Structure 1
Amino acid sequence: MTTSKKPKGAGNLRSFLQLLKETKPPYGLLVLAVALSVISTLVSLVIPMFTKGLVDGFTLSSVSLPQIARIGGAFVAQTAAAGLSVYLLNYVGQNMVAGLRERLWRKQLLLPVSYYNDIRTGESVSRMTNDTGIIKTLVSEHAASLFTGLVSIVGSISVLFYLNWRMTLVLFTVLPLSALILVPLGRMMYKISKGMQDETASFTAVLSGVLSEIRLVKASGAERREYETGQKVIKNLLAYGIREGKVSAWITPLVSLVFMMLLVVIIGYGGVQVSSGALTAGELVAFILYLIQIIMPLTQLTTFFTQIQKAMGASERLMETLKHAEEQYEGDEVAEGVRLPITLENVSFGYKPGEPVLNNVSCSVTPGEVTAIVGPSGGGKTTLFSLLERFYEPQQGVIRLGGRPISDFSLRSWRGGIGYVSQESPLLAGTIADNLRYGLDREINLEEMRQAAAMAYADAFIDELPDGYDTEVGERGVKLSGGQRQRIAIARALLRDPKILMLDEATSSLDSKSEAVVQKALSNLMRGRTTIVIAHRLSTVVNADQILFMEKGEITGRGRHEELLHEHSLYREFAQQQLQAPEFRPEEKGGEEITGHGQNTGGGRRPAHPRVGSRIFEG
């Protein structure tokens, strides 16, 4: 067991040092800050010798102005050097933690979606704030104590050997004993602080999750349940805090005990030496002052040792995040204006080993047409969308645009050509204008926003708002209705001008009035674009150019509605269950239906007679 623990501790220290190195601190300022701390310590080593001379030859006539000036100058120099060192260390520490947080933030944005399947948002937030704060505290508040403490201890012991080597040897009877006690306590502190960091991350995750969904909590009457969950984490934090307090309660009194023991021994033994004439009173005073300059750094070193244990625990988690594989953004640009088919060739994928979600899926999406994906829940429809968005990579098989794998294209170029409208249509906290131009590289002026909003049938309600396009939508767009959020999402997609349109039941959660408006907006959005639709009800896709029926991760049928109705038994069963209901009878269809062909007419203005009751997106 011993051999397994040592490499781990060494590995933690290496991770910590590597993390500090990768933050690229301003080494010049760091060296200057440490040098000033060392200078301040060296000056403090001289002061007891001044005091010795003052005590041994203390008469009013012996106190000269130059002597007082030297002592005063030493104090001033020590104070100035220490103050400047503290400032520089804080400056370096703040810059290091800012650089570290910048790296972490960049990393969080470049990590694949799969990373966040297993990591709660609050844990990532805790790593960004709490763990980096621990490292900042170590650098800015405790780093100098390592160098100054060692200088003070070594310098003081050297001078003490010069003054009286016999009394100095007495120190070494007590110091090793204190080290044997304090080192195990430091190891205990490491384990406790690591557990404290994990619990803090868990608590942050609970807070983030509950407060971001506070409406669901209240609507479900789950306040008591969430209170008990939070209370449990708070109690765990309390337990770790109490354990940390117990260790601290041992460390501080032990250091004081060591100091008092040494002080009593030195004063007692030194008093005998003074009375016998072997030691002067000034030397005894200097000895006591040097003893203080040994004990105080020992306390600082103990604190440093405790803090570095915490920092190693924090750096271990941070390095795990920083070493995680990023998404690969390099690749060719997707050619502008090129309309090519999207082909899936024997694509297989699963979120967990041995649990495939997609199994040898092969299909082709013709440019400019509407392809619908239908089937029972859990069949892999949304996973297929995720693969097309390249949130995940196929474990087997390949997805091609034309004849080239889509992995050949840069992520920015590929995703820039896709417009995705989902049921939820998430919005970010900010204004309507912020959400409309979100993610776009080019500047979007108000006129462009108005045109996109008009085509998305969002201009009317936006103009009625007191602040118009500067209206705050609230967190996740809670100040807007579902239909309003959907129309803003469609306007945002229009501004992106995507070549590929992906719709995930974009109207299924809306009321009939909002649905009719959103359907008209989607009609504008679809023109001239390759469209892929996920549909849970067949009524929304009966007129698609191609329908893919998915079940248990496989495509078991493909063709138009009439073809599948005759050739696919499960599709026919779905049709009998859904389309024979009164609201879905063919003779009751109203308005002009959208078909895949014949819709590639472009058009940048709202049609004079918009299509109402479109069956492709009815739901």
Structure 2
Amino acid sequence: MTEPVAPTPTARAGSNWQTYKRLLAYARPFWIAFSLAVVGNVIYAAASTGMAAAMEYVITAIENPTDQNRLFLTLLIVGVFAFRGLGTFMSQYFISYVGRQVINALRTQVFDRLMDLPSRYFDDNASGRLVSKLTFNVEQVAEATTNAVTITLREGLTILGLLGFMLYTNWKLTLIFLAVGPLIGLVVSYASKRFRKISRRIQGSMGDITHVASEAITGYRVVRTFGGEGYERERFRQVSERNLKQSLKMASTQAISVPVIQVLVAVAIASLVWTMLAPEIRGAMTTGQLVAFITAATTMAKPIRQVTSVHAKIQKGVAAAHDVFETMDEEPEHDNGSFEPERVEGNIEFDRVAFRYRDQLDNVLQDISLEIPAGQSVALVGRSGSGKSTMVSLLPRFYEISEGDIRIDGCSIRDFRLSALRAQIALVTQNVVLFNDTIAANIAYGALRDHSLEEIREAAAKAHALEFIDRMPDGLDTMIGDNGVMLSGGQRQRLAIARALLKNAPILILDEATSALDTESERHIQEALETVMQGRTTLVIAHRLSTIEKADRILVMDGGRIVESGRHEELLAAGGAYAQLHQMQFSESA
């Protein structure tokens, strides 16, 4: 196996340029605003050059203080600054407009892509880091498309304008001033490479900060119960200090490179002053022209410093854009099917199905063959890690089958359009997901939002949720907080069941759906589930065997295989794995 070859500096530079070009393409739809920003920058540059050129008239007015010169000089100063102010407004506002539009487009596209990515992507990437991409990294991209472009255009055009004026005034002196150009280029080149490298580390550390903080905040009850405050503080301190260290490296590089460039510019200006006193160089230049020339040279120091310091922003933006585009270029879920039935009957067939997670050698599921007639309830039991949840996750294609096939009504699930396949399945999991919205919005979520209030109440009643909903201050319109924090575990579970009931899908998956309920609630829910399971193909994963005794068939799983199959009484009589599990639970409860 060959070692991966590291990209050459030329390849990296090409890649950076390609990324920046792709980034600038997002500004194309807003070319009118961008053009107005360019016009503003041209006005600003012209005004800055005019300020230097005006020094000749200032000297003339001082040497010859007539009323006409006084009035002209006063109007000239006001006019130049007003002209420059107009250019500043146009350049800053319109480029900011373009930048915010680019951020909005990027952020929306990244989120849209996240909605299409397969489950394995979310398994591989912590949620905090993904949130950091949407917030911090996209803002870093903005620096490259707004401030950086503004400064590069405005100060770049100012440098060109001042250079043009200097060449026109005395080309020999200008060439002496330009002699330090290559040295400035070397400093900028070194700083740019360092900025880009540090920027990548800063983005990684920001992702760590978001990740650690979100875990500690969402899991605050566990943190406090188990005395994890000190551990979390230390974990956060470490990632925060890593971010601080990289940020200080960035600041030190910027702090060193800017004064070095200023000193080089100062050496160039000092060389000018020394040289211009020689009669053969000065030629026929008047005192006013000399002052104007020196003013132009010294005025150029600020735009040169600004243009060189903008490299930090551009490199941050390019590094962030690499990361953002990496997510956008991730391959979405395969959705090549075209079959879109209105409603399936619910016959399910597993045909020699095998599955393994990516990067794993061993199969998690092996040789699963099973037929479930429409309307039948099948319970999956077995020890933790036996493959129960993985098996039901293959049905809505959260993961792709490694071998074999799964068919619904004789049609392979690969031939279904994903949205059509998932429309046939209602799901209630052990880890209930609720949103910071009203109870009604959580029951009628997503594609269910068009259901009437009466239908929502009916689903809530069947799930035995109305008994606590009606006690809420605003009933169905009560806000339930982040992930339903204001509700008990049993109440949250009942809302999830009400959501599944409202969907009224022909296939129902219950993954430990009653695990969070107390005995009294479980009895009510069990009655509701028995009602809703009628006429639907139901797959039930249960830890407590007492909840699945009435299932049409019970499958016992072990090591990714089905080791026993039959009804409750049959399996008990067989005295195998199911009987052992039942005996174990019976002993525990006793």
* TM-score exceeds 0.5: yes
Shift in Å, 1:48: 2.6
Matched, 1:439 2:446: yes
Does structure 2 conserve the Cα–Cα contact (< 8 Å) formed by 1:333 and 1:409?
A: yes
Partners of 1:580 and 1:282 lie apart in 2 by: 105
Matched, 1:15 2:19: yes
Partners of 1:545 and 1:124 lie apart in 2 by: 43
Matched, 1:231 2:237: yes
SS class of match (2:470): helix
Residue 249 of structure 1 corresponds to which residue in structure 2? 255
SS class of match (1:172): helix
Shift in Å, 1:384: 0.8
Shift in Å, 1:219: 1.5
Shift in Å, 1:426: 2.4
Does structure 1 conserve the Cα–Cα contact (< 8 Å) formed by 2:346 and 2:536?
A: no
Shift in Å, 1:110: 1.5
Q: Which amino acid aligns with 1:297?
A: P
Partners of 2:297 and 2:322 lie apart in 1 by: 37
Partners of 1:454 and 1:50 lie apart in 2 by: 83
Q: Deviations over 1:507-544 (max 9, x none)?
A: 23322122222222222322221111112343332332
Partners of 2:267 and 2:6 lie apart in 1 by: 34
Number of aligned residue pairs: 583
Q: Which amino acid aligns with 2:129?
A: E
Residue 303 of structure 1 corresponds to which residue in structure 2? 309
Matched, 1:105 2:120: no
Partners of 1:115 and 1:23 lie apart in 2 by: 29
Partners of 2:276 and 2:88 lie apart in 1 by: 32
SS class of match (1:558): strand
Partners of 1:220 and 1:6 lie apart in 2 by: 52
Q: Deviations over 1:81-132 (max 9, x none)?
A: 2211211011111111111111111111121111010111111111111111
The aligned runs of 1:135-174 (5 Å cut-off) are 135-174=141-180
Matched, 1:486 2:490: no
Residue 453 of structure 1 corresponds to which residue in structure 2? 460
Residue 86 of structure 1 corresponds to which residue in structure 2? 92
The aligned runs of 1:515-554 (5 Å cut-off) are 515-554=522-561
Q: 1:49 to 1:427 in 2, by over 3 A?
A: closer
Partners of 1:544 and 1:567 lie apart in 2 by: 17
Matched, 1:372 2:358: no
Does structure 2 conserve the Cα–Cα contact (< 8 Å) formed by 1:422 and 1:504?
A: yes
Does structure 1 conserve the Cα–Cα contact (< 8 Å) formed by 2:41 and 2:157?
A: no
Match of 1:420 among 399, 409, 427: 427
Residue 609 of structure 1 corresponds to which residue in structure 2? none
Does structure 2 conserve the Cα–Cα contact (< 8 Å) formed by 1:270 and 1:279?
A: no
Q: Deviations over 1:440-470 (max 9, x none)?
A: 3452332222211111111121111222112
Q: 1:344 to 1:434 in 2, by over 3 A?
A: same
Does structure 1 conserve the Cα–Cα contact (< 8 Å) formed by 2:373 and 2:537?
A: yes
Partners of 1:272 and 1:511 lie apart in 2 by: 98
Identify unmatched segments of 5+ residues in structure 2: none
Partners of 1:568 and 1:195 lie apart in 2 by: 59
Residue 287 of structure 2 corresponds to which residue in structure 1? 281
Q: Deviations over 1:34-76 (max 9, x none)?
A: 1321232134323333321442463122616456545543432
Partners of 2:53 and 2:432 lie apart in 1 by: 75
Shift in Å, 1:365: 1.5
Does structure 2 conserve the Cα–Cα contact (< 8 Å) formed by 1:348 and 1:361?
A: yes
Does structure 2 conserve the Cα–Cα contact (< 8 Å) formed by 1:483 and 1:518?
A: no
Match of 1:127 among 123, 133, 142: 133
Moved more, 496-505 or 170-179: 170-179
Partners of 1:399 and 1:319 lie apart in 2 by: 34
Does structure 2 conserve the Cα–Cα contact (< 8 Å) formed by 1:381 and 1:550?
A: yes
SS class of match (1:502): strand
Residue 73 of structure 1 corresponds to which residue in structure 2? 79
Q: 1:505 to 1:42 in 2, by over 3 A?
A: same
Q: Deviations over 1:11-41 (max 9, x none)?
A: 1221232133246541222122113212321
Partners of 2:64 and 2:27 lie apart in 1 by: 57
Partners of 1:514 and 1:565 lie apart in 2 by: 27
Q: 1:77 to 1:214 in 2, by over 3 A?
A: same
Residue 65 of structure 2 corresponds to which residue in structure 1? 60
Match of 2:400 among 393, 401, 406: 393
Instruction: Output the TM-score relative to the length of structure 2.
Output: 0.93
Q: Which amino acid aligns with 2:558?
A: E
Q: Deviations over 1:548-603 (max 9, x none)?
A: 221111122222234434557323333443457776xxxxxxxxxxxxxxxxxxxx
Partners of 1:272 and 1:499 lie apart in 2 by: 96
SS class of match (1:464): coil
SS class of match (1:326): coil
Does structure 2 conserve the Cα–Cα contact (< 8 Å) formed by 1:490 and 1:525?
A: no
Q: 1:355 to 1:294 in 2, by over 3 A?
A: farther
Q: Deviations over 1:387-423 (max 9, x none)?
A: 1121111121111112111122222222122121222
Q: 1:578 to 1:70 in 2, by over 3 A?
A: closer
Instruction: Output the TM-score relative to the length of structure 1.
Output: 0.88
Q: Deviations over 1:292-351 (max 9, x none)?
A: 343222112112222111111101111110001112456445534541411111211112
Does structure 2 conserve the Cα–Cα contact (< 8 Å) formed by 1:486 and 1:518?
A: no
Q: 1:148 to 1:479 in 2, by over 3 A?
A: closer
Partners of 1:242 and 1:392 lie apart in 2 by: 43
Q: 1:274 to 1:463 in 2, by over 3 A?
A: farther
Matched, 1:217 2:230: no
**What RMSD in Å do the two structures reach over aligned CA positions?**
2.4
SS class of match (2:146): helix
Q: 1:2 to 1:50 in 2, by over 3 A?
A: farther
Identity %: 35
SS class of match (1:356): coil
Does structure 2 conserve the Cα–Cα contact (< 8 Å) formed by 1:52 and 1:286?
A: yes
Matched, 1:360 2:364: no
Identify unmatched segments of 5+ residues in structure 1: 584-619
Match of 2:189 among 175, 178, 183: 183
Q: 1:276 to 1:212 in 2, by over 3 A?
A: closer
Matched, 1:560 2:564: no
Partners of 1:306 and 1:276 lie apart in 2 by: 39
Q: Which amino acid aligns with 1:90?
A: S
Matched, 1:204 2:206: no
Q: Which amino acid aligns with 2:169?
A: L
Does structure 2 conserve the Cα–Cα contact (< 8 Å) formed by 1:92 and 1:140?
A: yes
